[in-house]
Amino acid sequence: MAGVFLPTDRATGRPRGFAFVEFTTAEGAAVAIERFDGAELGGRKLRINPADSGPRRPSFAPAPGPPPGRRYGKGKGSRRGLRGRKRSL
pLDDT band at residue 88 using 50, 70 and 90 as cut-offs: low
CATH no. for residue 3?
Answer: 3.30.70.330
In a domain, 31, yes or no: yes
4 occurs within a structural domain: yes
Residue 77 forms part of a structural domain: no
pLDDT one-digit tens code per residue, 6-36: 999 989 999 998 899 999 999 999 999 999 9
As beta bridge partners, residue 68 has none
Per-position DSSP letters for 48-83, written without gaps between them: --PPP--PPPPS--PPSSSPTT--SS-----HHHHH
The DSSP output letter for 17 is S
Condensed to tens digits (0 to 9), the pLDDT of residues 36-56 reads: 999 999 899 999 988 877 777
Contact 46, 38 (CB under 8 A): yes
Contact 21, 1 (CB under 8 A): yes
Instruction: State how far the Cα of 11 lies from the Cα of 62, in Å rounded to an integer.
Output: 20
Q: Determine the structural domain holding residue 6 and report its residue range.
A: 1-51
User: What local confidence, expressed as pLDDT, does residue 53 receive?
Assistant: 73
**Is residue 89, in this structure, part of any structural domain at all?**
no
Does the residue 42 lie in any domain? Answer: yes
Q: Is residue 3 part of a domain?
A: yes
Q: In this structure, which amino acid lies at residue 50?
A: P
Task: Provide the whole-model pTM.
Answer: 0.52
Q: Does residue 63 sit within a domain?
A: no
In a domain, 67, yes or no: no
Domain count across the chain: 1
